[in-house]
Structure 1
Amino acid sequence: MATNETLKQQVATQKQNEVSQGNKPKTIGDYIDQMAPAMAQALPQHMSIERMTRMATTVIRTTPQLKEADVSSLLGAVMQSAQLGLEPGPMGHCYFLPFRNNKKGTTDVTFIIGYRGMIDLARRSGHIQSIYAHAVYENDEFDYQLGLHSDLKHVPTEDDRGAFKGAYAVAHFKDGGYQFEYMPKSEIEKRRARSKAGNSKYSPWATDYEEMAKKTVIRYMWKYLPVSVEMQTAVSHDEGVGRSIKDITPDDDSYVDMPEVVADYPQNEEGSVDESN
């Protein structure tokens, strides 16, 4: 196994070779530009490749840990966001979460669909009239029943709502039907605990707990929604790790020329996210 010193020597040699050939070392931005044509083919019509590449590059440049991530894993997450037509960034459509893979000695990237991303994907099916989710707190008036005549009633308290109790999601179909699911906090926490993203301080679970709780319920309800098989398959990779760019586009050789080591950003003092966090 290569040591850190060996890796540094490889990077230095690579840079010297590129300079001697009159080429600048490739940056993450260069790789994103290189795979832009394939991303453009994957994007839905309402999104432009210019905006997608700009959003992805901004997220990477403003997240120190992503700058240290395995390049193939990182670009795989970028391509997944393009395939689903979800923008990474502050809107909460999707997230790129770096975590330290101690077994491989690398920083990998987890692709996470956000609450707003799940809502957007569901609406694109063309069969859903409306879909939404809400958090429930202890002081809210809340009641639901299942069976032949299922029903749900929620009246949020205007003042002190108390502690978080759970979340529910509702989808109304264009044919007049509907589907709803409620999940108490205990069940949400079980799903959070099973997720690699759930225990990291850099995860949206740490910064936007309520949004992720609502997303969790929609994700559970997803199998009952009238969405395409392709969309069901795509969403199944939510919170997936280790899907490199080669795994996602195995038949396209236009942008898989990945070096073993890429250090296109200076190392920072913050370090990478450890999977044990």
Structure 2
Amino acid sequence: MSTESKTTTKVAKKEGNAIAKTNPAERFTNTVIKQFGASAPGEIKVSDFQKKLIQNYFIKMDSVLKDAETKRLSKSEQYRDALEFKWENVNMQKLAIDVVAFSSIGLDPLQPNHINLICYKNSRTNKFDVGFIIGYNGIELKARKYGLDVPDNIVIELVYETDVFKAIKKDANNPIEKYTFEITDEFDRGELKGGFYYQVFNDDQTKNKLVMLSKKDIEKRKPKYASTEFWGGEKPVYKNNKKTSETEKVDGWYNEMAYKTIKRAAWNDVVIDSEKIDDNYHRMAQNDMDRVAGEVQNEIDNNANATVIDIDSEEITDQPKLTEPQPQKKVEEVVDKETGEVKDDSPEPGKQKPLF
């Protein structure tokens, strides 16, 4: 072998070893940037922080796929879709564009209540599209980045029977909207009556805004598929994985759910500045429309005979929801009741066979 051939072989081996040492998250990051570049030609500037966020999207997405595939395999064959939840079946081009958009805002899927990932089957492409649900902390980040007149702070409180709350609205004699609030019995506040949020503007207090929500108002915002594990109420009893005619009462975490519902309403109340809207914001809006359309189509395709276990974006967990049809199972098999995290016993991404 010539000296030139030996040198070429050594260089190839060195490059091959370097690629092999790259972990799956880094390969995913490179794939995202490459896919995004193919769809949006031009110079792509991705900061080191954004690259870290993109790797976090890989870690979360990998967990979501494993969790969904475990549930797919646990279903009886008559309800089991043939399409496996694996990376090869994910629409990577769409995912790449969305990940760049959401990560540019600073939304981190590994941080509590920032953003959640869901998979839904696209019947036209026979691939899984990935939808993103922004959590209440993510809504705050979005409002601060794109808001027209963003408050310096928002106070959020629940009001109970023994509390003393008085709203002082703006009028001819009172230029600043405000309130008084007193807790008279810290450890036995009685039944929940409602809550409020108060937008605070330090430089111009005349813009301060008080919004009150009764318990009825909170109930209006309750998700369609609200889990009794969190909202409380009656749920069916299962025996041998089969639904019975019996029911049991679940206390749930209603007050916590009410608080988070008010917080979502508070930051959604911030008006978006049209001059700040960029391609990333448009991509967020498009993703939301695609996700809703995909979920509706899934429901039509799957029709009946299966229960959709749905953890809505306004649930206490703000965790991924699966629109794939599920067998009749308890919600506990999907969510950890203490942390609200989707259970995942899969190995670490770095220990897998390379995917990219």
Q: Tell me how far apart the structure 1 counterparts of residues 195 and 286 of structure 2 sit (CA, whole Å).
A: 20
Say whether the 8 Å CA contact 1:134–1:167 is kept in structure 2: yes
The alignment status of 1:159 with 2:187, answered yes or no, reads: yes
For residue 167 of structure 2, give the secondary structure of its aligned residue in structure 1: strand
Q: Tell me how far apart the structure 2 counterparts of residues 214 and 273 of structure 1 sit (CA, whole Å).
A: 25
Q: Tell me how far apart the structure 1 counterparts of residues 133 and 191 of structure 2 sit (CA, whole Å).
A: 26
Q: Which residue of 1 aligns with 2:10?
A: none
Gap runs ≥5 in structure 2: 1-23, 38-42, 70-83, 232-251, 292-308, 310-320, 327-356
Say whether the 8 Å CA contact 2:32–2:97 is kept in structure 1: no
Q: Which residue of 2 aligns with 1:169?
A: 197
For residue 158 of structure 1, give the secondary structure of its aligned residue in structure 2: coil
Q: Which residue of 2 aligns with 1:199?
A: 225
Deviations 1:113-135 (A, max 9, x none): 22222333344469646222424
The alignment status of 1:214 with 2:269, answered yes or no, reads: no
Number of aligned residue pairs: give it. 219
Q: Percent identity at matched positions?
A: 17
Q: Which runs of 4+ in 1 moved over 6 A?
A: 100-106, 204-208
Q: Which residue of 2 aligns with 1:121?
A: 142
2:117 to 88, 96, 106: 96
Q: Tell me how far apart the structure 2 counterparts of residues 115 and 190 of structure 1 sit (CA, whole Å).
A: 17
What TM-score does the superposition give when structure 2 sets the normalisation length? 0.46
2:209 to 163, 176, 179: 179
Say whether the 8 Å CA contact 2:140–2:267 is kept in structure 1: no
Say whether the 8 Å CA contact 1:164–1:185 is kept in structure 2: yes
Say whether the 8 Å CA contact 1:182–1:217 is kept in structure 2: no
Deviations 1:235-262 (A, max 9, x none): 973981426xxxxxxxxxxxxxxxxxxx
What TM-score does the superposition give when structure 1 sets the normalisation length? 0.56
The alignment status of 1:144 with 2:171, answered yes or no, reads: no
Q: Which residue of 1 aligns with 2:20?
A: none
Q: After alignment, is 70-79 or 134-143 more displaced?
A: 70-79
Q: Tell me how far apart the structure 2 counterparts of residues 211 and 89 of structure 1 sit (CA, whole Å).
A: 22
Mapping of 1:1-277 within 5 angstroms?
30-36=27-33, 48-63=49-64, 64-65=67-68, 68=85, 71-72=90-91, 74-75=95-96, 77-98=98-119, 108-124=129-145, 128=150, 130-139=152-161, 140-148=163-171, 149=174, 150-156=177-183, 157-176=185-204, 177-193=207-223, 199=225, 209-210=257-258, 212-223=260-271, 228-230=275-277, 237=285, 240-242=288-290, 273-274=322-323
In structure 2, give the amino acid aligned to 1:182: M
- RMSD over equivalenced CA pairs, Å: 4.9
Deviations 1:197-221 (A, max 9, x none): x5265xx989973564133312441
For residue 33 of structure 1, give the secondary structure of its aligned residue in structure 2: helix
Say whether the 8 Å CA contact 1:119–1:131 is kept in structure 2: no
Gap runs ≥5 in structure 1: 1-26, 244-269
Cα gap change, 1:132/1:105 in structure 2, threshold over 3 Å: closer, same or farther?
A: farther
